[in-house]
Structures are given as C-alpha cells and as structure tokens.
Amino acid sequence: MISREQKIKIEERILITLKLFYENEGKISDEYLARLVSMEGFVTSSSTVGRDLTGKRIKDYISQEEYEKIQEMRKQNKMDGNIKGGKKSSTINIICKDENGHFNGCKKR
C-alpha cells in the first residue's frame, strides 16, 4: 500500500513531468525528459516518465483531449525517431535485395 507521502511525491513528479513536456512542446525523448525531471529533485527513469505520461493517474490532472494530444505527440516523436534511424541506417549500410526485389538483409559499407 502506498503511503500518503508517497502519493503526494508521485503527484508532484507527474505534474513536473507534464510541465517539462509542455515547455519542450512535446519534442523531447523520454530519456532526456527523465534527466530534466531528475534535475528538479525527483529520482526517475525514462520508463517512469513514459508511464507518467500514459498512465491512468495523469487523467486526473488533464482533460481527455489533452491526454489524446499528448499520445499523438509521443507517437509522432517515435515515428520521427524511426525515420532518423532509417536515414542513418541507409547511409552506413548497403541494402541487399533478391532477384524479386524483396529485402534480403544489409551489409556494412
């Protein structure tokens, strides 16, 4: 069972996480956001930050529309990160395809 003091600390951490997320306009990774929250005096990790932004408790502080907006921002950040990774991957790897044009693997340049 969580004590009253622990609940208050969790609520404060969630509110700080939200504040920092919005200050960075949602264009921030969970890892970097966790570092910023830690600088505010809370021991946290990227998984905790992700859970704070997607969990049930956050709905107590924001509307459903805001919650969906945050989810959309996080989804867009993930897609942007995958695209960046893809760009980097294509510059350092040679894509190998078979005679039918299907992806067969890649080799390092």
Map residue 89 onto helix, strand or coil. Answer: helix
pLDDT digits 0-9 by tens, 40-75? 999 899 999 999 999 888 988 899 999 999 999 988
Distance CA(70)–CA(67), nearest Å, equals 5
Domain extent listing, the chain: 4-108
Buried b (16+ CB within 10 A) or exposed e, 59-83: eeeeeeeeeeebeebbeeeeeeeee
Give percent above pLDDT 70 in the chain.
90
Beta strands at 93-97 and 103-108: parallel, antiparallel or unpaired = antiparallel
Read off the pTM: 0.71
pLDDT digits 0-9 by tens, 4-15? 999 999 999 999
